[in-house]
A and B are shown apart, each in its own frame.
Chain A
Amino acid sequence: MASISQPTQSAPRSRLRRLLTELPLSIGISALLAGFISLVTGRFLENLVVSVLIGIVAFAIVFGGRQLLPERAGWRLREWAALGALAVLAAPIAHFTGLHTAGLILGIRTPTLAEYPSVDRISMIVFTFLGTTLMVVLIMNRERVRRAQEEQAASQLRAEVIERQALQAQLRLLQAQIEPHMLFNTLANLQGLIALDPARASDMLDQLIQYLRATLSVSRSESTTLEQEFAAMQAYLGLMGVRMGERLRYQLDLPPALRKARLPTMLLQPLVENAIVHGVEPKVDGGDITISAALDGETLAIEVRDTGLGLDQVRAPVGGGGGGGVGVTTTRERLDALYGERAALALNAAHPHGTLARLTLPLEFEQ
């Protein structure tokens, strides 16, 4: 499956972008506060310069400190506490540094450190603290909005990828099912049977019709019942049984309670075909194929078991005609597109020999 990655930018660049959007925001907050203070004290210009300088220093501390905290969506109490502490710490430092810088620029008298423990000064620091808190809240809010947008873009991308994969899987499925080799060999057998045993030829033709009908109804949006799917596989195995004679033995086991369970059309076909083409057909003595369905809690478990060559001995059939990997990949992609994590396909060696394909998917019934 193609990896679905978040749209990532290089870290320094996204940091710069954030700096450029958030710095004007905090300067704006400072200017706003200066306006409030001026309502009480007058001297707007002086207040503006002082306030903006304090704002810049506070912003530098908060912004710089936040770079040390982890970059992720859900912050826990620990991270929030750290940011709060930073805001508290930033207030007096920013106030002192900002005020003294403004003093140097404007040539006004600034209080010395010794004058700080006064009601006036402390109330100004508290005011600064409110400013930095406002800054932090606004910045974090913007952050959350940005993250939500990113997540939405990522999930949209993911949906598109899945859509495309489903389409590809569907195409491959169609190509694989009406495999020319299978069709021509079946027709050759049919042609032979017409002369040798017309009654059996007629039965075989019935099975071919049933199989082709099921095959051609494949669509990713369509679903079928287990009963119908098992009937399609019965027809397929019936065709292969006529062709392979005694070398193929098969059994289908569907509990009555699961007959109406729903699943995507022709989901089993690639697995049964693999069991034939890579398992039983290339084996000199042939083998058995068992298809069974069972309930595993809330999950539907379908198994295709063969006593053929086994995974380690599989080799590509002459001429290529639909390799085993394609069938398994196609099935996995279909499952992923339709069910995500809730469905799976596992291929394992069966004992004493052969292959066991186990398909699990959510149990759903006809509405």
Chain B
Amino acid sequence: MTRALIAEDEPILAATLARTLQGLWPDLDIVATAPNGLAAVEQTLLLRPDVLFLDIRMPGQTGLEAAEELAERWEGPAPFPHIVFVTAFDDYAVQAFEHAAFDYVLKPVSSARLGKTVERLRGVFEARAVSAPNALAPDALARLLGQLQALAPAVEPVERLTTIRAAVGNAVRMIPVADVVFFQAIDKYVNVVTADAEALIRVPLKELLPQIDGTLFRQVSRSTVVNMACVTSAGRDDLGKVMLTLRGRPEKPRVSPVYAHLFRQM
């Protein structure tokens, strides 16, 4: 039986979508309804549904952000859920969805349009049942993440930072960006780690990222951005997860499966 999760903050819309889906696809088991973008991620990771209906404008985080977070945190063996975005008229340039790996429906959801989506999904899952899908295809996930990030609103070009200004006691420490070994997101703060010191700055990682050199600094997980020049090796731990060894620091940051391709042999 195919299992679905609905993430939608407006209760009537969630109930209506569930009801319409049930009518079109009686075999579908709707395992949960999440009322916001944060619950959507947690419940999806917990319940491992096959299909995820994600509203785009939700409190906590948007449907796109939820999908990104899921792609970064998803681990086998269950295959990554098939995502259907549910979007109101002007949430997103709908053309952006046309060539992407996920489906979308417009609100108010028309029964006929949803019927087409259901038909396609059934086809996908029937084929999957025959060929017995392998657990996880990291490359496919990385591709999916790339497509998701392309959908996000274009970040305005910002000036590149050369120095990080961090408050340490009463003074402001000037840290050359090139000296940073890695950035670690902690809630709304970022811990800036150099070979010999650490400093907290009050800038979310998402805002900091576009301001630093993307060829030198690479995101390796949801919360960590490393200076590639400081990575000496990448190994696997007992659970088979990729860990990095850094020059001048004892920490061994974990790499999300979606970013593991950055550290594969040439």
- A interface with B by C-beta (< 8 Å): 180-181, 183-185, 187-189, 191-193, 195-196, 242-245, 247, 281-284, 286, 317-321
Contact = CB atoms under 8 A, between A and B. Distances in A.
B54 to A, nearest CB: 12
A188 B108 CA distance: 4
A136 B62 CA distance: 74
B59 A281 contact: yes
B115 to A, nearest CB: 16
Contact of B91 (A191, A195, A196, A319): A319
Contacts of B13: 185, 188-189, 192, 243
B15 interface: yes
Interface string B52-83: 00001101101010000000000000000000
Contacts of A185: 10, 13, 88, 107
B12 A318 contact: no
Contacts of A242: 12
Contacts of A180: 88-90
A189 B12 contact: yes
Interface residues of B, number: 26
A306 to B, nearest CB: 14
Contacts of A195: 16, 19
Interface in B105-142: 107-109
A184 B89 CA distance: 7
B53 to A, nearest CB: 14
A244 B55 CA distance: 14
Contacts of A183: 89
11 contacts: A183-B89, A184-B89, A188-B10, A188-B13, A189-B10, A189-B13, A191-B108, A195-B16, A195-B19, A196-B16, A247-B35
Contacts of A318: 56-57, 62, 64, 91-92, 153
Contacts of A321: 90
B19 A196 contact: yes
A24 B119 CA distance: 95
A247 to B, nearest CB: 8
A294 B18 CA distance: 45
Given A189-B12, A195-B16, A184 B107 contact: yes
Contacts of A244: 9-10
Contacts, number: 80
A243 B89 contact: no
Given A188-B107, A320-B153, 13 more contacts: A185-B10, A188-B13, A189-B10, A195-B16, A196-B15, A244-B10, A247-B35, A282-B59, A284-B36, A318-B62, A318-B92, A318-B153, A319-B56
Given A192-B13, A242-B12, A244-B10, A317 B108 contact: no
B158 to A, nearest CB: 16
B38 interface: yes
A181 B12 contact: no
A165 B106 CA distance: 36
Interface centre among A183, A192, A245 (most CB of B within 10 A): A192
Contacts of A196: 12, 15-16, 19
A192 B18 CA distance: 11
Contacts of A184: 88-90, 107-108
B20 to A, nearest CB: 9
A195 B23 CA distance: 13
